Amino acid sequence: MSDVIEKPEVKMKDLKSDDPRWCAGCGDYSILVGLRKFLVNRQLDPASVVNISGIGCSGRIPHYMNTYGFHTIHGRAVPIAMGVALAKPELKVFIHSGDGDSLSIGGNHLMHGIKKNFNCVYLLFDNQIYGLTKNQTSPTSRKGLKTESQPTGSFLDPINPVMFAMSLGASFVASTAEWLGSHFLETVERAYDHHGFSFIHVAQRCPKYNPAAWNYKESNWITFLTHEDGVSVEDAKAKDAKRIEHSPYDFQGALDHAQHVPDVFGVFYQEEKPCYDDELLAANAKAVSLDRSALLDPYRIS
Ligand SMILES: Cc1ncc(C[n+]2csc(CCOP(=O)(O)OP(=O)(O)O)c2C)c(N)n1
Ligand code: SF4
Ligand SMILES: [Mg+2]
């Protein structure tokens, strides 16, 4: 008899936890299913994954994924995730954050998370509205959108999340849409395989408060960036979209395409860079081997 213990197969049903409470037709359901599919495709042990979120409808993902999880506080998913990456480097860290959570209250943390390039996959759920708090203008709301907080219409230009990430030197930047299942899944695959902070902008439907944000029934407004190291475009829902060949290693080209977000999906940019968690853990390990007391004083670790 063999004493090798077979690893049990990871199935979709193993990843289910509580029943989701989102509105009917919410794009967060597609993201949840896409993430479960990813774990199944890769046969990732649920105990090797941690889903961390801020506050918002998007923040509920950790409740519904049967992995480790932490539904934290508004805008603070990044520092908590970085703590996890440092304390438990064996875990695969996923961060889930809305457009408000990421770019209003959490903007400062996101900025430094990107700069530190710590190992994680970051999903920005962009429904261009504050959903959970019932219809306030967000940093990505389009000009003219009427909301509870700006009933006569938003009068400012929205933040472009891809330009934001690119300007901070993000080492992986992509954009996708949750209603394009295979494109979303492949984008998560590319992001997961990247070493460092992988930033994914996800166009997400909010039928309750911002139904006109994304014209998901048509694709003639979309341009896909294609490349053999990028993401393929097979979805029948994308049949009328434009395709442009773009190398994810071309920074200037990425910036040019990024200006047309939110109408462009694909991998914009990718490069290898030092990661804060790798460097700090290596420095700590070195310090411990020299002098255990060095660990108590972070200023002595260089
Ligand atoms: C410190 C703090 N300020 C404000 C709030 C109220 N609040 C909760 S979620 C949210 C915005 C949610 O919008 P977004 O991040 O876009 O997430 P969505 O619900 O659209 O997924 C706000 C302002 C809070 N919970 N905590
Ligand atoms: S308010 Fe919008 S984002 Fe929130 S659950 Fe409902 S449809 Fe989804
Ligand atoms: Mg939102």
pLDDT digits (tens, 9 = 90+) for 95-115: 999 999 999 999 999 999 999
Q: Give the pLDDT score at 296.
A: 55
CA distance 167 to 251: 11
Q: What is the pLDDT of residue 274?
A: 97
Q: For ligand 2, is residue 59 a contact (CB within 6 Å)?
A: no
To test the pocket of ligand 2, the residue of 19, 29, 57 to mutate (highest count of ligand atoms within 8 Å of its CB) is: 57
Q: Is the CB of 131 under 6 A from ligand 2?
A: yes
Mean pLDDT confidence for 83-95:
97
CB 210 within 8 A of CB 59: no
**Does the CB atom of residue 127 touch ligand 2 within 6 A?**
yes
pLDDT more than 90, % of the chain: 89
Q: Looking at ligand 2, which atom is closest to the CA of residue 134?
A: 1
Residue 101, ligand 1, Cβ within 6 A: yes
pLDDT at 291: 66
127 lines ligand 1 (CB under 6 A): yes
Q: Give the pLDDT band (50/70/90) at residue 289.
A: confident
For domain 12-271, give the CATH number.
3.40.50.970
Q: Is 140 in the pocket of ligand 1 (CB under 6 A)?
A: no
Q: Tell me, what's the pLDDT at 71?
A: 98
> What pLDDT, on a 0 to 100 scale, did the predictor assign at position 6?
81
pTM for the whole thing?
Answer: 0.95
| pLDDT tens, position by position, 190-249 | 999 999 999 999 999 999 999 999 999 999 999 999 999 999 998 888 899 999 999 999
Pocket test for ligand 2, best of 127, 147, 214 (most atoms within 8 A of CB): 127
The predicted structure's pLDDT at residue 297: 58
CA distance 6 to 18: 28
User: Is the pLDDT score of 288 beyond 80?
Assistant: no
Q: How confident is the model at residue 299 (pLDDT cuts 50, 70, 90)?
A: low
pLDDT of residue 235: 81
- Beta strand pairing call for 172-177 and 120-126: unpaired
Which ligand 1 atom minimizes the distance to the CA of 55? 9
- Does residue 295 surpass a pLDDT of 80? no
Would you place residue 294 in the very low, low, confident or very high pLDDT band (cuts 50, 70, 90)? low
- What's the 131 CA to ligand 3 centre distance in angstroms? 5
Looking at residue 4, its pLDDT comes to 74
Mean pLDDT within 269-291 = 90
Residue 148 has pLDDT above 80, yes or no: yes
Report the separation in Å between the CA atom of 205 and the middle of ligand 2, taken as the mean of its atom positions.
8
Closest residue (by CA) to atom 24 of ligand 1?
Answer: 74
275 pLDDT more than 80:
yes
**What are the C-alpha distances in Å from 158 to residues 164, 183, 245, 262?**
11, 25, 27, 10
Closest C-alpha among 299, 277, 301, 276 to residue 289: 301
- How crowded is residue 76: how many other Cβ atoms within 10 Å of its Cβ? 18
Contact 178, 203 (CB under 8 A): yes
Ligand 2 close to Cβ of residue 214 (< 6 A): no
Q: Is the minimum distance from the CB of 96 to ligand 1 under 6 angstroms?
A: no
Assess whether the C-beta atom of 206 lies below 6 angstroms from ligand 2: yes
Average pLDDT of every residue of the chain: 95
208: left (phi over 0), alpha (psi -120 to 50) or beta: alpha
Which residue's CA is the nearest one to ligand 2's atom 1? 131
Mean pLDDT over residues 53-63, rounded?
Answer: 98
- Percent with pLDDT over 70 in the chain: 95
